[in-house]
Amino acid sequence: MAAARIIEEVVGRRSMHVVLAGDFDATPDAASVRFWSGRQSLSGMSVCYRDAWESTHPGDPGHTFTPRNPLVSDLEWLLELGRRIDYIMVRCGDHGPTLDVSACARIFDAPVDGV
């Protein structure tokens, strides 16, 4: 929430594009992601960002963490099905996102030389 406050202080009501990207280490139903996507307020604050993956791949979970990762121990993650913890989000104005989200793709999602 501190990051959202800083962004809002810098951008305020100005018509500016903001793209938020990172490893949130949280699934789409987590309070932190719900906050960023405008589905939940926290401590009286509310923001609204459009999830690029959800916008371009509705219904696809878009896992960015998967037990197929060769660096993950099979025994340690035996029951892990995969989850999305990384996001790209576009700030919304009064009438939706300020940028058109026309495509979103996972990259670096296959091992290269075992890594």
Predicted pLDDT at 95:
87
pLDDT of residue 16: 87
Name the domain count of the chain: 1
Phi and psi at residue 20, in whole multiples of 5°?
Answer: -110, 125
Residue 34 is assigned to a structural domain of this protein = yes
Q: What is the mean pLDDT of residues 73-90?
A: 82
Residue 92, pLDDT > 70, answer yes
* Summary mean pLDDT of the chain: 89
Q: Is 71 exposed, middle or buried (0-12, 13-18, 19+ CB in 10 A)?
A: exposed
Whether 56 is in a domain gets the answer yes
Q: Would you state the pLDDT for residue 60?
A: 96
Are the CB atoms for 29 and 90 separated by under 8 Å?
Answer: no
73 falls within a domain: yes
| Structure confidence at residue 20 as a pLDDT band (50, 70, 90) | very high
For the segment 80-109, the average pLDDT, to the nearest whole number, is 91
Q: What's the pLDDT at 90?
A: 97
Query: 88 pLDDT band (50/70/90 cuts)?
Result: very high
* Domain-embedded: residue 49: yes
Report pLDDT for 65.
86
Has residue 106 been placed in a domain?
no
Structural domain contains residue 108:
no
**Domain carrying residue 12:** 2-97
